[in-house]
Chains A and B, each alone.
Chain A
Amino acid sequence: NAGVMQNPRHLVRRRGQEARLRCSPMKGHSHVYWYRQLPEEGLKFMVYLQKENIIDESGMPKERFSAEFPKEGPSILRIQQVVRGDSAAYFCASSPLARGRRETQYFGPGTRLLVL
C-alpha cells in the first residue's frame, strides 16, 4: 500500500529554468494539496486540487507558478523561470473524499528544489 509519492526527491535548477514537481496521491485519494516549506519555517499552503479542477489556489504566487491534476497521471506543480527564492522543500499531501467528517492529509516525502 504505497503512500503519497513525489518525484524527483531533489531537483537542481539554474535561474530562469523550469521546475516540474510530480505527486501521485495515495490509492483512493482524490484530493491533492501542495505546500511549501522555506528554511526554519512551517509549511505554507499553496494549492488544493481535485481531479481536473483547481479548488483553491489562494496560496500560489500570482506569476510563474501553476498546478494541475489531470484525469490520468500525477499532479504537477510547475514553476517557470525559477529564481533563488524558489529554493525550498515542496510537499504534496492527499486525502480521501470527505464524507461528513474531517479527513487527514497524508504527506509525501517532498521535493527539495535548489535554484543556483
Chain B
Amino acid sequence: DQQVKQNSPSLSVQEGRISILNCDYTNSMFDYFLWYKKYPAEGPTFLISISSIKDKNEDGRFTVFLNKSAKHLSLHIVPSQPGDSAVYFCAAPTQGGSEKLVFGKGTKLTVNP
C-alpha cells in the first residue's frame, strides 16, 4: 500500500525551462511534506518542505505547491539547470510520534544543456 506516489519515473527538460515534479498521497493524516534530491551514490539531500497549513512554499528557484483537496503536491524548479539533474523524492512523516518518513519511488530529472 503506497501512501506516497510519484507516477512519473523520469522527466527530461531543457536548461532554463521549468521542471514540474508531481507527487500524490493517499493518507489524509499527512500534515507535512518534504522533497529530497538524490545524486547517484550519495544520500538524499533535503530540498524544501511544506506544512499542510500552507499551499505554497518558495525557496529560491524551488517552489512547492500543495493541493490538500486533491492530495497532490508538486515541486517547481525554475529556471532548471544541468546541476539539477538528480532523482527527486517526495516524502511525508507519519503521525504517532515516530516521524518516520514515507517516500515515493522518485522521479529522475534530467536537465539538458
Using a CB–CB distance below 8 Å, which chain A residues touch chain B? 4, 6, 31, 33, 35, 40-45, 48, 55-56, 58-59, 91, 93, 95, 98, 102-110, 112
Contacts and interface: CB of A to CB of B under 8 A. Distances in A.
Given A35-B103, A93-B101, A105-B99, 8 more contacts: A33-B101, A42-B106, A91-B44, A102-B93, A107-B36, A107-B46, A109-B41, A110-B41
23 contacts: A6-B43, A33-B101, A42-B6, A42-B89, A42-B103, A42-B106, A43-B101, A44-B103, A48-B100, A55-B97, A56-B98, A56-B100, A91-B44, A95-B99, A102-B93, A104-B49, A106-B46, A107-B36, A107-B46, A109-B43, A110-B41, A110-B42, A110-B43
Contacts of B99: 31, 48, 95, 98, 102-103, 105
Interface residues of B, number: 26
B27 interface: no
Interface in B20-38: 32, 34, 36
Given A43-B89, A91-B44, A107-B36, A59 B100 contact: yes
A35 B51 CA distance: 23
B43 A45 contact: no
A94 B104 CA distance: 20
Interface of B: 4, 6, 32, 34, 36, 41-46, 49, 51, 89, 91, 93, 97-106
Nearest to B34: A104
Nearest to B46: A104
Q: 4 closest Cβ contacts across the A-B interface?
A: A42-B103, A107-B43, A56-B98, A45-B100
Contacts of A110: 41-43
Contacts of A106: 46
